[in-house]
């Protein structure tokens, strides 16, 4: 019997091969697209969940409020907080600091640039990074111990065992020896904590100076709670710790009238789950917005829904043809369950074939998809029990929903009525119209989102930043080179180059450079009973000139003033406003206890970081204690390629061992918004697929509808109807549905984009014409889809269409 069912199924599918092809293409594209999108979302959601005790690991966060009541949360912690928690909280199983830094590693005559993180001894026992050699409990007991990753062990030592070997690390301006005491497994791609090597946090440059100071923070802290301990139960004791060690700060905030935070305190300490860190974009780095993840899931679901709608509409539209078959089979004794199984089996066969084709398409497009959207997917991501189980269950659900109702609809016809020819073609039902409206509402929604996202990304890239980012080359300083020395040598080699306009140095890059690193230093201090907060930026001479930042008052740093590198600062206009001084030139501020700085100049505000957030007040200083991490070179615009080669040649003379990864600042700024660009690309691709699938379905439904109205068209032509009136009649019913879809989609798109734009401090005003344009596009595309077949039907000879059946 199964063989007979398969034979009938193949014959039926081949007989209606146009509709079969439409369904097959639609479902294949939907399955392939959904597989890629769902796997990407699954990968992002899996971040940090591979740790055995991930549910018990948290990152510490301060919770404050700004003067306007806006919550101010940040994970930067002072040195003493870790030992205090370790000593005073028996509920805590482990505590570790985390410094996200790099360093140069030297072994014999070779030098390597590696991600050398500073941590505490508990790190390896808290997190589930397997130890390939050595023991997690003893590998980091000494200040000169180093644990390296398997990848670094292979790169540095090759086939030689690294255990017990001594390597040199450049920390600050010195090379220090470290003994390899362990080899850990490589950090997986879905880990927020990436490292090549681990050393004690006591090796941090400023550790001795600030280990007992509660007002200086430069790292994050992770804690692991004992089983049964919850953050809620620990919160009162964390607040007591804040009141104990930050009493002076809390009293000062209370005196100045700062509003309390959401917990009812001036300052609080919160526990952020480890599995939430990948979605926290406040610190930048390799993080992802949950909106991005959920957008992928929703887009995949939209495309799948459209393909299923096509299948349901086509099957129901063909019901009159299948009704005759059902009537004959029922008269021959077939049970309704058998007929249901036969018709539903065709759905399973078609959907199964589409799933295989979709898998093949996803596999072929996987490299392109990874490159385009910076994903890390592989075939192994699909061949996991959980994914295979979800795929199987999803497939069964789709076949039940997409094939179940049409199968029930067709098999419900009475055999007697069918064989008497009394089954009439009814007017389009509510279900069909609703499904078509849903299809085009989704398509219109995606079109609007695409247009607004592209406008916002363009706005971010073109909005003035307060500096001139064009024709400026950013060069990261090598890890084993002193930044100040490197800057001086670069100036000497570029001094007589006609392509070079100005050279300076800075501690923070402008934009996202090719080195992939980012950092930020902020200071909070009191000035005339005002609480001041600002970015504290290390720069060098000609910083304003190199970046085209306007000097509003006073002067820029100059080699003529010997105190500029020790006791002078420049402040931005917004910082001067915070200070409350009409003329801040010559005034002194004291951000560090016992150290005063004189304001010698005021410059125009500029965006040091991305436009997701408003420009913060900035203080520029030249303290030699802070490192120069980047050299910025302004070049003439006539020959940018030649200028880059000139800078590269100067680099090679100074540091020939390392790869040159200089880049133009305007390109760095564009990389700030890569995630938004990728999301826009995903939406535009999804909109294209949604329109294509919707039009395929609309064409097929219109084709069947026109075939069923052939005699009506013939009668109208005999009675004098014109071709235009017939085309308008046939297309009008469908265009009404498209117009309803536009009305439904517009408010949904407005709400979704308003929420998305809310993440940007600088945003466009949502243009009204975007909704009009998307509606016109949908109408034109739908009309073009229907009109071809409508015109053909209207031109048909009425004599032929009125012949007896």
What confidence tens digit (pLDDT) does each residue in 198-223 have? Answer: 999 998 888 888 888 887 778 899 99
Of 431, 354, 302, residue with least CA distance to 25: 354
pLDDT tens-digit map of 681-712:
777 777 778 777 777 777 767 766 666 666 77
Instruction: Evaluate if residue 89 carries a pLDDT over 60.
Output: yes
At residue 627, the pLDDT reads 78
At residue 129, the pLDDT reads 92
* Band of residue 76 on the pLDDT scale cut at 50, 70, 90: confident
Residues 6 or more apart in contact with residue 441 via CB below 8 angstroms: 741, 742, 744, 745, 748
Q: Average the pLDDT over each of 299-303, 517-521, 629-633, 754-758 and give the range with the smallest value.
A: 517-521
At residue 178, the pLDDT reads 93
Q: How far apart are CA 610 and CA 350, in angstroms?
A: 49
Residue 231 backbone phi and psi in degrees, to 5: -60, -35
At residue 239, the pLDDT reads 92
pLDDT tens-digit map of 672-689:
877 777 777 777 777 778
DSSP labels for 109-139?
A: TEEEEE-EEEE-TTHHHHS---EEES-TTTT
Instruction: Evaluate if residue 740 carries a pLDDT over 50.
Output: yes
pLDDT tens-digit map of 765-774:
888 888 888 8
At residue 767, the pLDDT reads 83
The most confident of 115-124, 603-612, 618-627, 665-674, by mean pLDDT: 115-124
At residue 418, the pLDDT reads 52
Q: How far apart are CA 779 and CA 788, in angstroms?
A: 14
Which residue has tokens 């098999």?
411
Which residue has tokens 């090598």?
478
At residue 425, the pLDDT reads 46
At residue 322, the pLDDT reads 61
Percent of the chain topping pLDDT 90: 14
The most confident of 10-24, 415-429, 580-594, by mean pLDDT: 580-594
Three-state DSSP class for residue 666: helix
What does the block give as tokens for 738?
A: 């498209």
Q: Cα 670 to the chain's mean position, in Å? A: 15
- Whole-prediction pTM: 0.73
Instruction: Evaluate if residue 716 carries a pLDDT over 80.
Output: no
* Band of residue 297 on the pLDDT scale cut at 50, 70, 90: confident
User: Contact at 8 Å (CB) between 141 and 106?
Assistant: no
* Length of the chain counted residue by residue: 805
Q: How far apart are CA 447 and CA 778, in angstroms?
A: 9
Instruction: Evaluate if residue 417 carries a pLDDT over 60.
Output: no
Of 540, 525, 522, residue with least CA distance to 594: 525
User: Contact at 8 Å (CB) between 526 and 597?
Assistant: no
* Cα separation values, 536 from 35, 66, 482, Å: 46, 19, 20
User: Contact at 8 Å (CB) between 460 and 762?
Assistant: yes
At residue 130, the pLDDT reads 92
At residue 805, the pLDDT reads 43
User: Contact at 8 Å (CB) between 223 and 58?
Assistant: yes
At residue 198, the pLDDT reads 94
Of 621, 645, 660, 643, residue with least CA distance to 481: 660
Instruction: Evaluate if residue 167 carries a pLDDT over 70.
Output: yes
Instruction: Evaluate if residue 498 carries a pLDDT over 70.
Output: yes
What is the average per-residue pLDDT within 524-537?
A: 78
User: Contact at 8 Å (CB) between 532 and 618?
Assistant: no
468: left (phi over 0), alpha (psi -120 to 50) or beta: beta
Residue bearing the bigger pLDDT, 283 or 589: 589
The full set of domain ranges for the chain reads 1-43+288-296+317-424, 93-230, 472-671
Percent of the chain topping pLDDT 70: 83
Q: Average the pLDDT over each of 46-60, 235-249, 397-411, 528-542 and give the range with the smallest value.
A: 397-411
At residue 803, the pLDDT reads 59
Q: Cα 744 to the chain's mean position, in Å? A: 28
pLDDT tens-digit map of 307-349:
877 777 766 666 556 666 666 666 656 666 666 666 667 777 7
* Band of residue 560 on the pLDDT scale cut at 50, 70, 90: confident
Residue bearing the bigger pLDDT, 345 or 741: 741
At residue 318, the pLDDT reads 61
At residue 339, the pLDDT reads 64
């Amino acid at each position: 019997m199964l063989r007979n069912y398969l034979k009938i199924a193949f014959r039926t599918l081949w007989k209606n091969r146009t509709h079969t092809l439409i369904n097959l293409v639609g479902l294949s594209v939907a399955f392939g697209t959904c597989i890629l999108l769902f796997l990407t979302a699954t990968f992002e959601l899996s971040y940090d969940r591979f740790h055995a005790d991930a549910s018990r690991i948290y990152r510490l966060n301060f919770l404050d409020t700004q003067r306007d009541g806006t919550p101010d949360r940040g994970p930067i912690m002072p040195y003493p907080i870790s030992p205090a928690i370790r000593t005073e909280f028996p509920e805590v199983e482990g505590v570790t600091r985390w410094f996200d830094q790099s360093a140069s590693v030297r072994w014999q005559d070779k030098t390597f640039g590696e991600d050398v993180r500073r941590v505490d001894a508990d790190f390896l026992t808290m997190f589930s990074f397997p130890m390939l050699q050595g023991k997690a409990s003893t590998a980091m007991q000494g200040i000169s111990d180093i644990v390296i990753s398997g990848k670094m062990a292979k790169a540095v030592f090759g086939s030689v065992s690294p255990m017990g070997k001594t390597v040199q690390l450049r920390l600050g301006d010195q090379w220090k020896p470290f003994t390899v005491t362990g080899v850990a497994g490589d950090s997986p791609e879905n880990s927020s904590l990436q490292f090549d090597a681990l050393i004690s946090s006591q090796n941090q440059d400023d550790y001795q100076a600030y280990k007992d100071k509660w007002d200086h923070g430069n790292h994050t802290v992770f804690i692991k709670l004992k089983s049964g301990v919850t953050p809620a139960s620990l919160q009162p004791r964390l607040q007591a710790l804040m009141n104990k060690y930050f009493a002076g700060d809390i009293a000062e905030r209370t005196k100045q009238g700062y509003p309390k935070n959401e917990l009812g305190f001036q300052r609080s300490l919160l526990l952020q789950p480890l599995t939430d860190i990948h979605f926290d974009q406040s610190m930048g780095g390799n993080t992802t917005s949950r909106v991005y993840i959920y957008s992928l899931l929703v887009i995949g679901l939209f495309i799948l829904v459209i393909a299923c709608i096509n299948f349901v509409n086509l099957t129901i539209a063909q019901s009159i043809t299948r009704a005759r078959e059902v009537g004959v089979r029922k008269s021959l004794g077939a049970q309704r369950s058998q007929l249901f199984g036969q018709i539903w089996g065709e759905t399973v066969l078609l959907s199964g074939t589409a799933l295989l084709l979709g898998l093949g398409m996803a596999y072929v497009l996987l490299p392109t998809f990874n490159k385009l959207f910076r994903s890390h997917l592989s075939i192994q991501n699909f061949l996991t029990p959980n994914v295979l189980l979800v795929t199987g269950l999803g497939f069964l659900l789709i076949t039940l929903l997409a094939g179940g109702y049409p199968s029930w609809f067709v098999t419900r016809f009475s055999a007697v009525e069918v064989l008497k020819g009394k089954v009439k073609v009814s007017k389009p039902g509510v279900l069909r119209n609703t499904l078509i409206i849903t299809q085009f509402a989704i398509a219109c929604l995606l079109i609007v989102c695409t247009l607004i996202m592209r406008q916002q990304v363009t706005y971010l890239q073109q909005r003035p930043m307060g500096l001139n980012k064009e024709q400026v080359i950013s060069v990261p300083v090598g890890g084993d080179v002193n930044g100040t020395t490197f800057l001086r040598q670069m100036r000497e080699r570029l001094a007589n180059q006609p392509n070079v306009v100005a050279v300076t140095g800075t501690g923070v890059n402008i934009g996202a450079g090719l080195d992939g690193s980012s950092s930020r230093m902020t200071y909070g201090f009191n000035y005339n009973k005002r609480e001041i907060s600002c970015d504290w930026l290390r720069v060098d001479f000609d910083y304003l000139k190199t970046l085209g930042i306007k000097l509003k008052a006073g002067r820029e740093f100059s080699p003529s003033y010997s105190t500029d590198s020790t006791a002078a600062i420049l402040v931005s206009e917004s910082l001067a406003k915070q200070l409350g001084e009409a003329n801040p030139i010559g005034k002194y501020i004291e951000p560090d206890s016992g150290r005063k700085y004189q304001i010698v100049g005021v410059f125009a505000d500029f965006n040091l970081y991305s436009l997701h957030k408003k420009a913060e007040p900035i203080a520029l200083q030249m303290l030699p204690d802070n490192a120069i991490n980047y050299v910025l070179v302004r070049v003439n615009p006539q020959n940018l390629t030649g200028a880059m080669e000139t800078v590269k040649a100067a680099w090679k003379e100074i540091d020939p061992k390392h790869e040159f990864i200089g880049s133009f600042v305007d390109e760095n700024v564009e990389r700030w918004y890569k995630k938004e660009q990728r999301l826009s690309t995903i939406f535009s691709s999804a909109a294209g697929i949604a329109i294509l699938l919707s039009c395929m379905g609309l064409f097929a439904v219109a084709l069947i509808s026109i075939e069923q109205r052939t005699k009506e068209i013939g009668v109208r032509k005999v009675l004098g109807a014109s071709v235009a009136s017939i085309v308008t009649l046939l297309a009008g019913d469908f265009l009404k549905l498209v117009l309803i879809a536009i009305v439904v989609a517009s408010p949904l798109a407005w709400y979704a984009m308003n929420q998305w734009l809310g993440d940007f401090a600088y945003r466009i005003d949502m243009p009204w014409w975007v909704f009009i344009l998307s509606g016109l596009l949908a109408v034109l595309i739908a009309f073009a889809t229907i009109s071809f077949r409508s015109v053909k039907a209207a031109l048909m000879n009425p004599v032929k269409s009125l012949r007896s059946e």
